[in-house]
Structure 1
Amino acid sequence: MVPEEDAFAPIFDGTTLKGWHAVPRLPVAFAPGAPEPDPLSDAYIRASRTSGRWSVEDGAIVGRQDPPGSGNGAYLLSDGVYGDMELIFEARPDWPADTGILVRASALGSQGYQILLDHRRSGNIGGLYGNGIGGFHAIAFTLDAETDGEGRLSGLRLEDPGSSLEPLTPDKPALLDYAATGEEFLSVWKWDDWNEFRIRVEGEVPRITVSINGQKISEVDTGAIRHPSYDVRAVRELLGTKGHIAFEVHDNDPRMGEARWGANAACRWRRIRIREL
């Protein structure tokens, strides 16, 4: 029998971006069938001008805004498309860096099932978001940064609900078939260090399971989601049964500005490997 880890094939060679390509973070319809964004709008034109700043540094893919601090987002997509799979990688985000990993993503990058890596105030890590497919937000906790006695960032803590920029309303955890508590997440997360994600995607309309550093964080049957803007059949028609893997560099919106992505922030991904099921 082949050892489990030997069944995973690398999809990043550690030295180049071969097998990956960058695309702009273009505005898309909120959900299939919703109004399409105006390609002549200032926001659309501004977004189309950059595909982010992607590099390989010390064996890791590094994503930044281009130019840094510009507020412009982007995606890095796998050339390959994948259906049922298990994906493993390590990530190390700066604070604040609102990023994520999309699976079954369209060629635009901005349509798919996003595993959240919102390493910023009011963010969640390990939950799911319906990117361009209805905006469902399947999360069980929100986070903020902890500071030491001298005001320096020192770790993550659970957010005070009264100060949240994005309230954790009851409908959000209700979408999860399994949800780790915020305390369970914090017990395994390593601040300013590498954290291993394991994401399993299985089914035509997939069941998605996320573990971080060996701790199961979330599980969602996307075929059973009940959400006002999520239409299972329309999403299945839009995405099909295979899609790209996409790493995200978020743009900065007027409401959050640099609280969403710091002026010189980056996120890093390494040891990216996959097993097709």
Structure 2
Amino acid sequence: MNLESFDETGFVSLFDGESLRGWHAEPRVYGSVYPGGPSVDAIFAAHGITPPVEPEKHPAAWHVEHGAVIGQQATPGYGGYLVSDEAFGDFELVLEARPDWPADTGIMLRRRFQDWTGYQVLLDHRESGGIGGFFGNGLASFSAVPFAVRARKNAAGEVIGLEADDPATSMEPVTQEKIDRLSYAGSVEDFLKVWKWDDWNEIRIRCVGALPVITTWVNGLKVAQIDTATIDMPDYDPQAVLDYVGTRGHIALEVHDNDAFFGESRWGHGAKCRWRAIRIKSLDSGA
């Protein structure tokens, strides 16, 4: 297992440690499944799933406490995003995260303004959750993950850490197809050696290119890489994605909603996610 070192020069802070200045909250409102495609609500209806009722009226709650951004469900079952006011092109983003268990969160990249579409780096800190992998919000829902985790419990049934998910019993199994979408897939064994339970973990993300190559590291360990220009799956059209998303967009932190499948195993009652030391370095040509 090799941990990488990085050039820490050139970063600017996106969080002052005291306020949400430079950020704004948006509710978790769904849009199209893919550019020009049907709405997520229409897909829900076709599968007999009741969509969230007026989610725009139930945004997540965000505040600053002890030098960290805190996100949680303000109305049980409803999620939301904290979105950067500024848009970014090519960049390296570093932040520290400390989510409760279970808390299904993530970091969105090149998110469209007031639109759920964008690339997401997963921080699914829950049963069968992927950490450091990718999901395409409004981009044909592509899933590209190297592994999944589940709770490690003691004899009393208390969650005391993470362990590798069991595909035989997984709520959301990692298939070979999901792994094959990655140009690099780290091992769960190495990940478990560096992940710090109930503590702060550094997430580093590099996003470069018009249809970006996105790379993730956790505590210096390379976890995953994807080339979004080469994703091969139904309804994913790279040119349509580029035309719709563009080459710049917003960064967003996520509080997930609860759904009929996962319920509170996706976001536990009263659970919070915490973020601090959020900083970014532009990698745009000429920056």
> Taking structure 1 as the reference length, what is the TM-score of the superposition?
0.95
Q: 2 CA distance for matches of 1:188 and 1:101?
A: 20
- Rounded to whole Å, the distance in 2 between the matches of 1:14 and 1:155 is 28
Counterpart CA distance in 1 for 2:40 and 2:131 is 28
Percent identity reads 50
Over 3 Å counting, the alpha-carbon distance change for 1:268 and 1:109 in structure 2 is farther
8 Å contact from structure 2 (residues 33, 40) kept in 1? no
1:1-277 map, 5 Å: 4-36=7-39, 43=51, 45-67=53-75, 70-277=76-283
Decide which moves more: 244-253 or 41-50.
41-50
Alpha-carbon distance, 1:44 to partner: 5.6
Q: Which moved more, 1:12-21 or 1:148-157?
A: 148-157
| TM superposition outliers: structure 1 runs of 4+ over 4 Å | none
Is the deviation greater in 212-221 or in 102-111?
A: 102-111
Hey, what's the Cα distance between the residues in 1 that align with 2:38 and 2:142? 17
Q: Which runs of 5+ in 1 are unaligned?
A: none
CA distance change for structure 1 residues 38 and 183 in 2, over 3 Å: closer, same or farther? closer
Corresponding residue pairs, total: 272
After TM superposition, give the deviation of residue 46 of structure 1 in Å. Answer: 2.3
* Deviation by residue 1:106-134 (Cα, 9 ceiling, x = unmatched): 11352111000000001110001111111
Question: 1:167 corresponds to which letter in structure 2?
Answer: P
**1:26 and 1:148 mapped to 2: Cα distance?**
38
Any idea what the Cα deviations from partners look like across 1:197-233, whole Å, max 9, x if unmatched?
1100000110000001000000111111111121101
Partners of 2:137 and 2:95 in 1: how far apart? 21
Alignment gaps of 5+ in structure 2: 1-5
Letter aligned with residue 111 of structure 1:
T
In structure 1, the residue corresponding to 2:236 is in which secondary structure? coil
State the alpha-carbon separation in 2 of the partners of residues 211 and 168 from structure 1: 19
